[in-house]
Amino acid sequence: MLSRIRSLVMVVALVLVLPSCAAFQSLLALGQVDFSLDRVHQVSLAGVPLDGVRGYGDVSARDVLRLGLALSDRRLPLELTIDLRADNPADNPEASLVAMDWTLFLEGRETVSGGLTEAVRMVSGEATTVPVGARLDLLEFFDGGLEELVNLAASLAGVEGAPVNLRMEILPTIETSLGPIRYPRPIVLGAGSDR
């Protein structure tokens, strides 16, 4: 009778421990996924597209007028897409990124935060693009004249000139057999990154 109880306890313990091991392995796998900033694109300022624009001198007179009107209304909305690259090593299991909180820093200033809009599958041995769309009013965070602010926004696309100091902090969540597990601490990407 005692040996039957011990056997039953061992079976129950294995049933409880094995899923935990799978979740732990999934969490370790996320730690081995290498996240990095890939590129910034679809940059627009007050509706004026800036991809391919090196600076204020490349903006048409019509678009300068449009930007000037937005500035006089004390609104200068900046929209951009930041592509993050997630490299999942070949010996890792496939992972599913189901959520990701992020915070965007420009020139060392914390600006806006957001989250992942849809789950992203990270296949073993492949790089996956994780697009992050951000929108902020540039005037909430920076002072300056129109030329200076246009140059700042244009430098995000990185055509030429001094690149803007752009940094992101991300906090991923992956799906495991036990449910979603959130990464224990933020990952810093870009200028000032330690990864």
pLDDT tens for 6-64 read 443 444 444 454 455 655 555 555 557 889 999 999 999 999 999 888 889 999 999 99
Length of the chain: 195
The pLDDT, as a whole number, for residue 133 is 96
**Where does the pLDDT of residue 100 fall: very low under 50, low under 70, confident under 90, or very high at 90 and above?**
very high
Residue spans per domain, the chain: 2-190
Nearest Cα to Cα of residue 67 among 134, 166, 138, 157: 138
CA 92 to chain centroid, in Å, comes to 21
**φ and ψ at residue 80, rounded to 5 degrees:** -155, 160
- Distance between CA atoms of 100 and 86, rounded to whole angstroms? 12
pLDDT of residue 33: 84
What pTM did the predictor assign? 0.79
User: What secondary structure, in 3-state letters, does 166-189 show?
Assistant: EEEEEEEEEEECCEEEECCCCEEE
Tens of pLDDT, residues 133-142: 999 999 999 9
Separation CA 79–CA 139 (nearest Å):
13
What is the fold of 2-190?
Answer: Immunoglobulin-like (2.60.40)
Closest CA to 124 of 85, 86, 91, 173: 91
pLDDT higher than threshold 80 for residue 105: yes
Tokens of 83: 């592509």
Chain segment 63-76, per-residue pLDDT in tens:
999 999 999 999 99
| Residue 10: predicted pLDDT | 45
Q: Rounded to a whole number, what is the largest CA-CA distance in the chain? A: 91
pLDDT in tens, 127-165: 999 999 999 999 999 998 999 999 999 988 765 544 578
Q: In angstroms, rounded to a whole number, what is the distance separating the alpha carbons of residues 29 and 175?
A: 11
